[in-house]
């Protein structure tokens, strides 16, 4: 009986010692497979392009109401990532809707990166 308890304890210690290695493997797995909604370009196409245009330049009728041109170097240099993120989270004025609660923080971060990508084209 005593030998069985010792074997059980040894087995438990072995199994528990493997957990950190397994978690590390899972957490460091390649992130190449992501749902489409986490891809900034795809998400921008789904949620933003209708107003901001597929190219990020915006729509003429909205630019007259203050919509930025994401390809414009002045916009890119004068607007921080935090300001872009805040605008996506909370909306702006009466035309830009808030996406807080509709998009995850990761999705919003991917949209900020996509807005920045328009400035590099």
What is the domain partition of the chain in residue ranges?
A: 38-118
At the topology level, CATH places domain 38-118 in Cytochrome Bc1 Complex; Chain D, domain 2 (1.10.760)
Q: Tell which residue, 113, 48, 97, 73, has the closest CA to residue 58.
A: 48
Q: Which pTM does this prediction carry?
A: 0.68
Percent of the chain with pLDDT over 70: 69
In the DSSP assignment, the letter for residue 108 is: H
pLDDT in tens, 19-62: 455 445 444 444 444 443 459 999 999 999 999 999 999 998 88
């Amino acid at each position: 009986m005593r030998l069985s308890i010792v074997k059980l304890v040894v087995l438990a210690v072995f199994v528990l010692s493997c957990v950190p290695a397994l978690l590390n493997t899972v957490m460091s797995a390649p992130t190449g497979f992501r749902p489409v909604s986490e891809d900034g370009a795809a998400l921008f196409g789904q949620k933003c392009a209708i107003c901001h245009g597929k190219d990020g330049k915006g729509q003429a009728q909205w630019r007259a109401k203050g919509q930025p041109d994401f390809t414009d170097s002045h916009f890119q240099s004068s607007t921080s990532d935090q300001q872009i993120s805040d605008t996506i989270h909370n909306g702006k004025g009466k035309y830009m809707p808030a996406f807080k609660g509709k998009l995850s923080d990761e999705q919003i971060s991917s949209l900020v990166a996509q807005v920045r990508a328009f400035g590099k084209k």
